Amino acid sequence: MITNKLVFATNNLHKTQEVRELLKPSYEVLNLSDIGCDVDIPETGATFEENAMLKSSYVSQHYQLDCFADDSGLEVEALGNEPGIFSARYSGERGDVVNMNYLLKKMEEVTNRNARFKTVISLIKNEHNYFFEGVIEGIILNEPKGKQGFGYDPIFQPHGYDVTFAEMEIGEKNKISHRAVAMQKLIAFLKTSA
């Protein structure tokens, strides 16, 4: 039985679905569209933490609702941890395929393929702000594989696996992903603070 509502400050339906799966049945997760927020909340921070907090703070202040927001990105070791906070618009525009292809082009002659996905969640609950971080290490492949997921999932293969995130079923990815790691920390916190 759903007993609590939380706003996830995103309009990304893929991310919303992943998080709903992780938080059900204890929480009903609403996204920005569900609460009637059509503002493109600026992500002007210099870190994942700052960007996540900008989004959660906006919803908390304007809608007086408990809210969490994440900022996630891919950090490629050989590129000085690019694209980082610019992952969603690395090529200069938004779009999974164009950004992935831009990254692959930059990686053409690179032998160090080490990378990691990182998520930072900012939760504002009862007017207090809490942070939760998740990281998963892996490598960048030379070409996309798989049709699941979004973003850089088709070219990211986590250590210990012979498939990309895009080749995994959502349930499998939800057990190991950077967002899942951060979400498990958030869920553990919510259970102890309820």
Range of the domain at 160: 4-193
* Segments of the chain scoring below 50 in pLDDT: 1
Cβ atoms of 17 and 64 within 8 Å: the answer is no
Distance CA 15, CA 28 (A): 14
CATH number, position 163: 3.90.950.10
State how many domains the chain has. Answer: 1
Query: Which pLDDT score, from 0 to 100, does residue 14 have?
Result: 82
Query: Which pLDDT score, from 0 to 100, does residue 194 have?
Result: 56
Active site (annotated) includes residue 162: no
- Residue 136, C-beta contacts closer than 8 angstroms, at least 6 positions apart: 116, 117, 158, 176, 177, 178, 181
The kind and range of the H/E element at 70 are: strand 67-76
Query: Which pLDDT score, from 0 to 100, does residue 149 have?
Result: 80
The number of C-alpha atoms within 13 Å of 157 and in the hemisphere containing its C-beta is: 13
Total-model pTM: 0.86
Query: Which pLDDT score, from 0 to 100, does residue 40 have?
Result: 86
Query: Which pLDDT score, from 0 to 100, does residue 1 have?
Result: 46
DSSP 166: G
Catalytic residue among 71, 96, 153, 162: 71
At 87, list the tokens: 């992952």
